[in-house]
A and B are shown apart, each in its own frame.
Chain A
Amino acid sequence: MNSLSSMIEVADLTHSYGGKEILKGLNLSIARGEVFALIGPTGAGKTTLLRIIDLLETPGSGEIYFDGICIPRSGKQRLEIRRRMSFIHQKPQVFNSSVYDNVACGLRWRGEERDRIAEKVDGILETVGLEGYDSRDARTLSGGEAQRVALARALVLEPEVLLLDEPTANLDPVSTAKIEHLIGHVARRHNTTMIMATHDMSQGQQLADRIGVLIDGRLVQTGNATDIFRSPRNEEVAHFVGMENIIEGIVVANNEGIATVSIGSNPDGIGIQAVSKYPAQQEVYACIRPEDITLAPMRHRSSARNSLQGRVARVASNGPLSRVQIDCGFRLVALVTRVSAEELNLQEGSEVYADFKATAVHIMERNASR
């Protein structure tokens, strides 16, 4: 993608705090109108990246392009460009004034007329569901309400780019759903370019066109949700996206795209079938999402290509689901509904078959580039 078609472009971005390198040569290009989710563990550098894009900080080295303009490291132009963006922080900060004044301040700073301000603020308060809150002291609001004020305050400016840093991290499920709904609404309605940092993968999956995985200051993988969740590039990404079963093995044969992988370090271990391009002798990881494994009391003759016999090592309740650890020569974790766990009468030591399709196994090279 070249800088003409992209709204935000970041080139070779490096940044350190007190001698510690936070961002390590980052390249990223985001198209106009795209919703991009930045996922990654805490401390990976998500917030730092957003702060640099919002021009709150100047990077150690590297360039940022906004709508094709290379942003200078200082000077008046930074304010002009910053005024085309809005940033929603993880912890909403409200000013010590009324809800109305909080939402109006950005417009006032841009020299908007009084009547226009009143009109816009009333409109946006209605959108975020805070109509009638105008004269409330913003500091007496609940966390969810404060985040909606912050959202209204940012959206009323009709930014071309909206940056969101874990916008729902401190909120209860109901408030989270409201905020997510609003973000989705804005993305569709105004075609706003968004970059959203989150550690909640389902949020990224639900709202974003494209996802980038930031681990330890590097953008390890970008792609759509299916790519990231089904085909993580390396072990770190796999861990982060909830691939609980990451098993070492060696490809012993590959028959027209169906590989047989021997688990463990020797070729005569337990074999599993997987869809993969890797040839024989390749050292790999086999990754299986726990929810892709079904459990049965006897060997299945279904379309599932793999059916492994094992013993239940542990059953743990996980809300409406049960996490079942199975020892079938290696450790396997399956996620089944609690109802089916009860029907199967799963208990420690009981014998069970773990079934999963060859397409459910994602094979990745060991020692893949980080």
Chain B
Amino acid sequence: MTEIWYGLSRAVELIISFDPEVMEIAARTLRIAGTSCLLASLISLPLASLIHFRQFRGKRVLINIIQTLFSVPTVIVGLFVFVLLSRAGPLGELGILFTPAAMVIGQMILITPILLGLTISALSGVSKEIIETATSLGASGFQLVLLVLREARYAVLAALILGFGRALSELGVAMMVGGNIRGFTRVMTTALSLATTRGELEMALALGIILLFLALVINIVLNRLQQRR
């Protein structure tokens, strides 16, 4: 027990003294998760609009598949990207395995279904009457899509934040295609995992507290967005 208390107090020390290594890892984590979230949203927003506004065969099935992929295990995405980027793989030439770029690709694949699915349901929340009102006011097809995205902006933003949270807290992809290289691809989850196995409890606890704190911030923001709807 004393060991844990000691670890906790050391962890707090590491945080409030802005320990350079902890801060560097936290910043990198935010940067990588932020980039993957941004890229995923660049794919997801147009694609979700397309799926929502177009009528086609198998639309229901497609949405079901997307929703199933919400909970795809991170290690499976990790494995997939690993195979893709490994020397013998189809994208092996790029030589980006065990770089932040590989982690961004992996996290992007991980959270794209979440962004897609939640954006589609956010868009479905905009009433038919609103769409008709805009149509009769002379909106073109593209202007209509922009308006509906704008009407659903809080729900869409909530989807983005949820995706960001998932990218931030996942371990499998970061470990498998990032490789936890110190000062290069080490992020909070991989560092925490390593510190724990090494018995550096104060480091693990410090990272854990920061991760929990970020989760709390995300939750507060989400709650506020949901109230604004």
Quote the shortest CB–CB distance from A27 to chain B (angstroms): 24
CB of B127 within 8 Å of the partner chain: yes
Quote the shortest CB–CB distance from B180 to chain A (angstroms): 44
Question: Are B140 and A154 in contact (CB-based, < 8 A)?
Answer: no
CB of B135 within 8 Å of the partner chain: yes
Within 8 Å by CB of B140, from A54, A96, A97, A109, lies A109
The contact string, 1 if C-beta is below 8 Å from chain B, for chain A 50-88, is 000010100000000000000000000001001101110
Cα distance, A41 to B17, chains bound together (Å): 76
Cα distance, A154 to B139, chains bound together (Å): 13
Contacts of A46 in B (CB 8 A): none
Instruction: List which B121-173 residues lie within 8 A (CB) of chain A.
Output: 127, 129-130, 132-140, 143, 147, 150-151, 153
Within 8 Å by CB of A86, from B129, B137, B140, B147, lies B137
Contacts of A157 in B (CB 8 A): 137-138
Quote the shortest CB–CB distance from A281 to chain B (angstroms): 53
Cα distance, A171 to B140, chains bound together (Å): 31
Quote the shortest CB–CB distance from B132 to chain A (angstroms): 6
Question: Are B132 and A109 in contact (CB-based, < 8 A)?
Answer: no
Interface range for A: 20 to 34
Question: Are A106 and B151 in contact (CB-based, < 8 A)?
Answer: no
Cα distance, A154 to B136, chains bound together (Å): 9
Contacts of A79 in B (CB 8 A): 138, 140
The contact string, 1 if C-beta is below 8 Å from chain B, for chain A 85-121, is 1110101010111000000011001100000000000
Q: Known contacts A95-B147, A96-B151, A105-B147: does B132 contact A110 (CB below 8 Å)? A: no
Question: Are B129 and A91 in contact (CB-based, < 8 A)?
Answer: yes
Question: Are A109 and B129 in contact (CB-based, < 8 A)?
Answer: no
Which residue of A has the minimal Cβ distance to B146?
Answer: A109
Contacts of B127 in A (CB 8 A): 93
Question: Are A153 and B137 in contact (CB-based, < 8 A)?
Answer: yes
Contacts of A109 in B (CB 8 A): 137-140, 143
Listed in ascending order, the chain A residues whose CB lies under 8 Å from chain B are 54, 56, 79, 82-83, 85-87, 89, 91, 93, 95-97, 105-106, 109-110, 150, 153-154, 157
- In the A-B complex, the 4 residue pairs with the closest CB atoms: A83-B138, A87-B136, A106-B137, A93-B133
